[in-house]
Amino acid sequence: MTEVSATVADDVSNNATETTGAQAMPVAPRNTGTLAGFTIPRLGMGTMALAIEGRPESRDQAIETIHAALDAGVRYLDTAWSYYLPSKPGTGEPEDMGYGEYLVRDALNSWDGPKDDVLVATKTGWLRTLDNHGHYGWQADARPKTMIANAKESCQRLGVDALDLFYSHCNDPQVPYEDQMGALKELVDAGVAKAVGISRVGNEEIALAREILGDRLVAVQNQFSPVYRDPDGTMDTCERLGLAFVCWSPLGGFLDPFNEHCFDRFREVAAHHGCSHQRVTLAWELARYPRLFTIPSARNPQEIGDSFQAAALDLGTEEIDYLNGVA
Ligand SMILES: NC(=O)c1ccc[n+]([C@@H]2O[C@H](COP(=O)([O-])OP(=O)(O)OC[C@H]3O[C@@H](n4cnc5c(N)ncnc54)[C@H](OP(=O)(O)O)[C@@H]3O)[C@@H](O)[C@H]2O)c1
Report the alpha-carbon distance of residue 3 to residue 20 in Å, rounded.
18
Give me the pLDDT at residue 25, please.
86
> Is the CB of 196 inside a 6 Å radius of any atom of ligand 1?
no
Segment 50-105, tens digit of pLDDT: 999 999 999 999 999 999 999 999 999 999 999 999 988 887 777 799 999 999 99
Mean per-residue pLDDT over the chain, rounded: 92
Report the alpha-carbon distance of residue 53 to residue 76 in Å, rounded.
22
DSSP-derived secondary structure letter, 136: E
> Is the CB of 296 inside a 6 Å radius of any atom of ligand 1?
yes
Task: Judge contact between 244 and 236, C-beta under 8 A.
Answer: no
Q: Render 64-124 in DSSP notation, one character per residue.
A: HHHHHHHHHT--EEE--TT-S--SSSBS--TTTTTHHHHHHHHHHHT--S-GGG-EEEEEE
Give me the pLDDT at residue 326, please.
55
Atom of ligand 1 nearest to the CA of 47: 45
Of 59 and 326, the one with more pLDDT: 59
Give me the pLDDT at residue 17, please.
41
The rounded Cα 259 to chain-centroid distance in angstroms is 23
> Is the CB of 222 inside a 6 Å radius of any atom of ligand 1?
no
Segment 95-154, tens digit of pLDDT: 799 999 999 999 999 999 999 999 999 999 999 999 999 999 999 999 999 999 999 999
% of residues, the chain, pLDDT over 70 = 92
> Is the CB of 249 inside a 6 Å radius of any atom of ligand 1?
yes
CA–CA–CA angle 197, 36, 11 (5° rounding)? 115
Which fold, 29-324? TIM Barrel (3.20.20)
Whether the predicted pLDDT of 22 surpasses 70: no
**Top mutation candidate among 104, 169, 199, 303 for ligand 1, by most atoms within 8 Å of CB:** 303
End-to-end CA, the chain? 42
Whether the predicted pLDDT of 10 surpasses 50: no
Atom of ligand 1 nearest to the CA of 279: 31
Give me the pLDDT at residue 1, please.
62
Residue of the CA atom closest to atom 8 of ligand 1: 248
Segment 187-245, tens digit of pLDDT: 999 999 999 999 999 999 999 999 999 999 999 999 999 999 999 999 999 999 999 99
Give me the pLDDT at residue 87, please.
87
Give me the pLDDT at residue 23, please.
67
Output the CA 295–ligand 1 centroid distance in Å.
8
Residue of the CA atom closest to atom 47 of ligand 1: 46
Beta bridge partners of 64: none
